Structures are given as C-alpha cells and as structure tokens.
Amino acid sequence: MVWLLCGKRLFIKDMAYYLLPPNGNPASIAPSLGRIKRGVGTTQAPSNGATNGTTQAPYPYATDAEPNNPTVIPRDILGEFHFTFLIRHPRSSIPSYYRCTVPPLDTITGFSKYMPSEAGYNELRRVFEYLLSVGQIGPKTAGEDSEKHSRNAESKKGVEVCVIDADDLLDNPRGVVQAYCKSVGIKYDPDMLKWETDEDHNQAVEAFKKWTGFHEDVINSKDLKPRLHKKKVTSVQDEDTEWIEKFGEEGAQIIRETVDANMTDYEYLKQFAIKG
C-alpha cells in the first residue's frame, strides 16, 4: 500500500489477512477506526484513543458494518491508499512458511504452530474484489495497453490494478519493477535493484529484526538479478515426494491440502499480474 502523507509517499507492506475477521466471519468496522462525530450530545471524549470508548472484547465488534466491505477498515480510510497486491504460487509459499514453524527453524522464528488459515489468499482476493467493485482500482491493469481503455470513461475511475507475482519478479526484476514504478508514478532507478553498502545492509537488518529466521536470504543478499533458470513446473507427485522427504507424511499432507485449498484464489489474482 502507498499512502500520501505530508507530500511524501509512505509504503506499507502487510498481509490482507489481518484486515479481515478470522475464518470468514462477517466484518464490522474496528472501533478504533470509527469516525468520531462531534456536535450536540457528543462532547464527551472517548475513554481512550484505542477504542473510541468501546471496552468489549476485540471481536466481534459492536459496530456497524459497511455494505460489502469485507474488512474492519472504513472505505474512506481504504480510499486513502494506493494498493499493490504481491502474490506467490502456493506451491512455493506454503512449504516455505511451514518450514519456519517446525524444527529446527521454529526455535529461531518463535513460530511453532502452523495454521493453514494464515495462507491469506482468500482474504487477499476478497479485498481485491471489493476494491475493484467500488472503483478504487481498475478496470485498467498495470502494463495493459492504454488505448484499450482510452475511449471508455469508466476506465478512469480507479488507479490501475497492480498485481506482482513473485516468480515474474525473480525472472525479470528490471522489467517488473519498471512496470510497477510506471503504474504507481515513481521514477525508476536501476539502483532500486541493488543494496550493496553497509548502510543498506544495516537498514535491512533493522527492518527485519522482528522476523528473525524469515528473511535471512534477503538480508544476506546484495541485489536482485534474474534467476538463471525459471522455476521448473513440477508434478503433484514430485511435489508430494519432496515434501515428504523434508517434512514427513503428516507435514506433506498439511502442505498439500493448504496448497490445493488456495489455488483457485491464486489463479484468479494471477490473471491480473504485471507483465514486465
């Protein structure tokens, strides 16, 4: 997400999973994000700045819902952000995260329980579809020929749909980052793909120190170059065999079920991905 603050653009990276109630439950607006109305009978300030005076348990909230909004964030606040959607194929992301929740990495990451619901693909799709439905994004897709929409006034209603697939980024970092910069209105600089100095390294260590064990490859890298070989398409049997060898029968079954459960949402979002 990109947010304009005091003339500067603030970049925020987080999972859409945390913007929605758990387990597909219906959403209502988080009390801390409700707009405080002022006027007759509303002179009393909230009892604290966190909940606007609401003291009940965190969820479910005793607040109103917004029509069709799947998140706990009001539409007017969502409207202040310029959204980018980063996706990764479940066959890569699911085992990668699972690995961080089992020995020996679990003692480093502090995560010792894998929760399939945290995959987040369905939540990401629901946020995406909502923003598309209210015209905050789309219908034009980043990298798409502008002429296709130039005669359609409706196409100018939202910012471009901007989806980046991790495999595309690794195969063609320069092309994808250039296309991304064009979409969000940032001047592309080749140095964006390099972080070679001690200052860059220290900044990365500081940024990721809360997530020990999750980002070591990035911290120990110096740049982003095209990988030498595109990721090989594997069969289900090959994937299962690899996961059994790494995580055992039970772990492999959990991974397979989670991958399969998220493929439809991933493939839906993939169709919108930037072509660098």
pLDDT digits (tens, 9 = 90+) for 238-264: 999 999 999 999 999 999 999 999 999
Helix, strand, coil percent values for the chain (each to nearest 5): 45, 10, 45
- Global pTM reads 0.85
| pLDDT per position as a tens digit, 119-136 | 999 999 999 999 999 999
Write the secondary structure of 220-234 as one string of H (helix), E (strand) and C (coil). Answer: CCCECCCCCCCCCCC
Question: In terms of Cα–Cα distance, which of 193, 33, 163 is closest to 86?
Answer: 163
Distance in angstroms (rounded) separating the CA atoms of residues 139 and 116: 32
211-246 exposure pattern, b = at least 16 Cβ within 10 A, e = fewer = eebbbeeeeeeeebeeeeeeeeeeeeeebbeebbee
Write the secondary structure of 28-64 as one string of H (helix), E (strand) and C (coil). Answer: CCCHHHCCCCCCCCCCCCCCCCCCCCCCCCCCCCCCC
